[in-house]
Amino acid sequence: MATSFLWNCTKKFVSASIITVTVSDRYVTVIPVRGGSMSPTFNPKSGSLMEYVFDDYVLVEKFCLGKYKFSHGDVVVFRSPLNHKETHIKRIASLPGEWFSTYHNSDVVQIPLGHCWVEGDNAASSIDSKSFGPIPLGLIRGRVTHVVWPPQRIGAVKSIHRKDWLSFRIPTIVWPP
Amino acid sequence: MATSFLWNYTKKFVTASIITVTVSDRYVTVIPVRGDSMSPTFNPKSGSLMEDVFDDYVLVEKFCLGKYKFSHGDVVVFRSPLNHKETHIKRIAALPGEWFSTYHNSDVVQIPLGHCWVEGDNTASSMDSKSFGPIPLGLIRGRVTHVVWPPPRIGAVKSIPPQGLAFF
């Protein structure tokens, strides 16, 4: 009797684990944010001791890998183009086919087909497309929608288009029309 | 009595589906090969009517996304750098940091950190790194190990380095 109870418990535990793993892989998961490249959105390192010691945790949704069209200001999780074993979190600044520049330099980059330009909110300390160029959208593993830890900053992550980003499409002129 | 039997059946079916989905996502899956850019390894389109009408199906393992180091000649499934909704199958010809050239042209390309050069076995009709350049290893979604359909060609896929020169 005791062994069949234990067996039932084990079966339920294994089923629950497998369902959790599947949901975490395909639909939604929670991950920690390391480093200060997205400060002050994540890990602002200001104020309480709690914030200094513990990393932020965020909710990442993976429905966006299906039919969703990424937009400016989305915060995404992606595999690093320099090391496929690392993942990073940055904000999308520019989409395929657009021309991108910032106020800080006079270079203008055209984003190739299937790629995007990502930047960290903390421009001073962020390894992003400024270093490794535009990244293929195929490297994106999910989109950050909410902060879930620490409790005082629980809330949605807004899709902000930063004011110092200049991103524009050059319309194709067909002549004669 | 009948409804509890049906409920038990449904529970087992749903559990089996979820386990299959998890295994397919994380460990091993079977996919069809479209097109002939990997001919004659896949879809050789020669001989029997069966081969001409039906695509090959291959076994793809995803353990390689963990600690495995990719090597020359591995056949991999990857997301296209031009369109993240498409996946392609090609063979790895060169690895990060190597200088790569083919017999057919005199250009030499250095493969950047974290990238690789992929080519199809059917060089005449293959959209690969010759068109879109080296791809980040992060786009790779799995490694092809076996052909599982059609039956005459069931067997392991060999890791043959393609015809080219890779310098280390």
Q: What is the pLDDT of residues B2-37, one digit of tens each?
A: 788 899 899 889 888 888 888 888 889 999 999 889
Residue among B22, B83, B138 whose CB faces A18 most closely: B22
Residue among B79, B114, B139 whose CB faces A83 most closely: B114
| CA–CA dist A77, A57 (Å, integer) | 13
pTM, whole model, 2 decimals? Answer: 0.85
CATH number of the domain at A64, please.
Answer: 2.10.109.10
Q: Which residues of A touch B114 (CB under 8 A)?
A: 80-84
In a domain, A36, yes or no: yes
Percentage of chain B with pLDDT > 90? 41
In a domain, A83, yes or no: yes
In a domain, A176, yes or no: no
In a domain, A20, yes or no: no
Gyration radius of chain A over CA positions: 20
Q: What is the pLDDT of residue A14?
A: 87
Enclosing H/E stretch for A1: none
Distance from CA of B163 to the nearest CA of A (A): 26
In a domain, A70, yes or no: yes
Residues B138 and A84 sit within 8 Å (Cβ to Cβ): yes
Q: How many domains does chain A have?
A: 1
Where residue B142 falls (left for φ over 0; alpha for ψ -120 to 50; beta otherwise) is: left
Q: What is the pLDDT of residue A167?
A: 80
The parts of chain A modelled with pLDDT lower than 70 are 1, 46-52, 103-104, 172-174, 177
Whether pLDDT at B87 is above 90: yes
In a domain, A24, yes or no: no
Residues B125 and B37 sit within 8 Å (Cβ to Cβ): yes
In a domain, A69, yes or no: yes
Whether pLDDT at B168 is above 60: no
Q: What is the pLDDT of residue A144?
A: 95
CA-CA-CA-CA dihedral for B119, B125, B127, B131, to nearest 10: 90
User: Closest chain B residue to A26 measured between Cα atoms?
Assistant: B25
| CA–CA dist A15, B19 (Å, integer) | 9
In a domain, A23, yes or no: no
Q: What is the pLDDT of residue B51?
A: 62
Give the pLDDT band (50/70/90) at residue B138: very high
- Candidates B4, B11, B24, B37; catalytic one: B37
The range of the structural domain enclosing residue A118 comes to 30-168
